């Protein structure tokens, strides 16, 4: 039941119909006995700046989750970005600070790593290939470095983008490089951070011909739950990590950012809500 006293968490993106956050968060709020709901807000690219300025007036909002295509652009309107948001060049959570300005962080990369850990896949000492050097790929690459991956290799069809991310990763002291092909051979962890796999006719984003059985193959694509890449990896005997776990892995981090102190926000809690 929504009343005048209900607090609001919103997710902004365009398109918005496909996002899971309203269902997951509203379910978690109910499960945790918190009088709050999560609503979708379809904000056009052209309207983002004015929207973020106007939304500073909202006194009963816990904050905003930011999704495609606004993650990089929203950073420009954040007076208090986290160090990680500045490194990645994007934000995916915003909250108002007492000075009336936005604080922003990006937790999807960290959420990806948390999601791996929750399913028993460590990152420390592993050699990782990240395919796709856009917002999601960049956030994941930085989070892998932060979680002490031995080496992070980045591939993008736009090779200059991959080279740029690799250079920024190295600037933090990490071992990182750009690859000339998306070939899974020789990696402990392979991550698809491109949109390939959303449409049934998409080609596989990674060549699995020579993938090792011990390699964990992960996808940042949420729908379908098992992408063609993950299906192919499973056939080859690899452990797979669907994109939903990246989402689930960041919920607890987001809850903390939005200052929901108590409550269960774990993948187990989410599973109960989703069921």
Q: Tell me which residue has tokens 């968490």.
A: 9
Q: How far is the CB of 28 from a second copy (least distance, A)?
A: 12
Is 256 in the active site? no
Q: How far is the CB of 182 from a second copy (least distance, A)?
A: 30
* Closer by beta carbon to a second copy, 83 or else 275: 275
Q: How far is the CB of 48 from a second copy (least distance, A)?
A: 7
Q: How far is the CB of 69 from a second copy (least distance, A)?
A: 13
Q: At 109, phi and psi to the nearest 5?
A: -65, -45
| Residues 113, 34: Cα–Cα separation, whole Å | 27
Closest C-alpha to 258, from 58, 63, 38, 59? 63
Closest C-alpha to 170, from 183, 153, 155, 185? 153
* Closer by beta carbon to a second copy, 79 or else 231: 79
**Token reading at 46:** 């052209």
> Is the CB of residue 246 less than 8 Å from the CB of residue 267?
no
> In the set 11, 103, 165, 196, which binds a second copy (CB under 8 A)?
11
Instruction: Answer yes or no whether residue 20 interacts with a second copy by CB under 8 A.
Output: yes
User: 244-257 and 267-274 are packed helices; what angle lies between their axes, rounded to 10 degrees?
Assistant: 110
Contact set for a second copy, span 21-60 (CB under 8 A): 21-23, 26, 37-44, 46-48, 50-60
Q: Which residues are catalytic?
A: 71
Per CB under 8 A, residues contacting a second copy are: 1-6, 8, 11, 14, 16-23, 26, 37-44, 46-48, 50-61
């Amino acid at each position: 039941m929504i009343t005048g006293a209900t607090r609001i968490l919103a997710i902004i993106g365009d398109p918005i119909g496909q996002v899971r956050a309203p269902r997951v968060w509203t379910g978690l709020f109910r499960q945790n006995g918190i009088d709050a709901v999560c609503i979708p807000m379809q904000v056009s690219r052209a309207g983002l700046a004015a929207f973020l300025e106007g939304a500073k007036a909202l006194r009963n909002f816990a904050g905003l989750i930011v999704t495609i295509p606004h993650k990089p652009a929203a950073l420009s309107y954040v007076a208090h970005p986290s160090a990680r948001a500045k490194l990645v060049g994007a934000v995916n959570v915003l909250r108002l600070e007492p000075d009336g300005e936005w604080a922003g962080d990006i937790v999807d990369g960290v959420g990806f790593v948390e999601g791996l850990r929750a399913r028993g896949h460590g990152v420390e000492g592993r050699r990782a290939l990240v395919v796709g050097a856009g917002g999601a790929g960049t956030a994941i690459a930085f989070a892998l470095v932060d979680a002490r991956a031995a080496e992070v290799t980045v591939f993008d069809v736009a090779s200059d983008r991959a080279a740029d991310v690799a250079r920024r990763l190295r600037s933090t002291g990490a071992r990182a490089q750009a690859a000339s092909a998306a070939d899974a051979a020789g990696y402990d962890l392979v991550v698809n951070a491109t949109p390939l796999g959303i449409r049934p006719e998409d080609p596989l984003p990674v060549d699995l011909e020579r993938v090792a059985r011990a390699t964990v193959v992960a996808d940042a694509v949420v729908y379908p739950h098992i992408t063609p890449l993950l299906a192919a990896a499973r056939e080859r005997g690899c452990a797979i990590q669907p994109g939903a776990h990246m989402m689930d892995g960041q919920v607890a981090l987001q809850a903390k950012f939005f200052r929901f102190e108590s409550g269960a926000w774990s993948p187990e809690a989410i599973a109960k809500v989703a069921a």
